[in-house]
Amino acid sequence: MTSPGRRRAGIDVGGTKCLGVVIDSSGEVLEVDRRPTPRHPDELIEVLAVMTEGFGVVDSVGVGVPGLVTREGVIRASPNLFDVRDLAVAARLSERLARQVFVENDATCAAIAEWKSGVAVGRSDVVVVTLGTGIGGGIVADGRVVRGRNGFAGEIGHVIVDPSGPLCPCGLHGCWERFASGSALAARARELVTGGGGHAIVTAAGAATDIRGEHVESAARDGDAEALAVIDGFCRWVAVGLANLANVLDPELFVIGGGLASTGDTYLPAIRRWFGEMLYAPELRPHPTIELARHRELAGAIGAAHLAEVEADDGH
């Protein structure tokens, strides 16, 4: 006989779809629901309410949203939600559902998913890095989620690793995600092709303008030396950013999530090797381990579902 346990709902708001789950006390996924993300803020709140109601009786409701999210659950702005500005998701959904709703940044949710029911269970000092179109992050320090004064901690994709580097859409130069995200990987491969190389990568992609990270991976798996070099250079940049985070936070574990984690075995050995060469004072410390995330597409939603527990841990 199994205990029914708690049922916790979590929804991850993405640029194209809202992905909802119900998890049990152990973090296992009991239900999944997907809906298109509406553009209008009022419709977004309504979709989140309808999804939650569709899950029936649940013990808590959490939502993960992209972009800069305040501690009060307000989306200040989000590159993936163009019509959303200063949207008080927590307050409005809470009012609509007549219950408490927890809201966090989606990368922080992905981190919480790994910490509460993924590869970081039981760890106290963890940084989760989501490598996708950009780079997001979530930080656990001494057993607590680091949110920062405004809730904007973990915007690690915009750590500057070369102030004279390429312009980032954020307006700054040389942000880490210009070197170490999925789009950076593809951009590096396209540069190679522009320079007259990268034939195997072009063949995999069909056309130079269609090159994405998966085409570089595909050529690399076939042993193409140029693709392997692009991936190695990419992994070096990933390691630069991880080493920087190690210097600031001294975590015991890095978890790599996001889109690139699904084929993470392509990257992990080189990231680990470069990281070992870039860690400060490597001979004087146990090295943080680097693992792939357990949760994939559902990470944000699972983490959102765990938010109520995290708040309770923090004594809020």
Positions that interact with its own copies (CB under 8 A): 68, 76-77, 124-125, 137, 139, 141-142, 144, 146-156, 158-164, 170, 172, 175, 236-237, 240, 243-245, 247-252, 278, 280-281, 284-286, 288
Nearer to its own copies, 54 or 282 (CB): 282
CB of 1 to its own copies, least distance (A): 38
Nearer to its own copies, 55 or 275 (CB): 275
CB of 276 to its own copies, least distance (A): 12
Strand partners of residue 77: 68, 85
Nearer to its own copies, 97 or 249 (CB): 249
Token digits of residue 51: 């999804």
Nearer to its own copies, 18 or 75 (CB): 75
Token digits of residue 87: 């949207």
Nearer to its own copies, 162 or 232 (CB): 162
CB of 183 to its own copies, least distance (A): 17
CB 253 within 8 A of CB 289: yes
CB 75 within 8 A of CB 150: no
CB 22 within 8 A of CB 33: no
CB of 180 to its own copies, least distance (A): 11
Please enumerate, as own/partner, the contacts of 279-283 that have beta carbons within 8 Å and a separation of 24 or more.
Answer: 279/243, 279/246, 280/243, 280/246, 280/247
CB of 81 to its own copies, least distance (A): 14
Strand partners of residue 23: 8, 29
CB of 282 to its own copies, least distance (A): 9
Nearer to its own copies, 51 or 89 (CB): 89
Q: What are the backbone dihedrals phi and psi of residue 105, each rounded to the nearest 5 degrees, phi first?
A: -60, 145
CB 293 within 8 A of CB 128: yes
- C-alpha distances in Å from residue 301, one per residue of 22, 73, 295: 9, 16, 10
Nearer to its own copies, 20 or 154 (CB): 154
CB of 148 to its own copies, least distance (A): 2
CB of 72 to its own copies, least distance (A): 13
DSSP, res 112:
H
Closest CA to 189 of 174, 173, 172, 204: 204
Strand partners of residue 301: none
Q: Give the number of other Cβ atoms within 10 Å of residue 6's Cβ.
A: 16
Nearer to its own copies, 127 or 305 (CB): 127
- Furthest C-alpha separation in the chain: 65
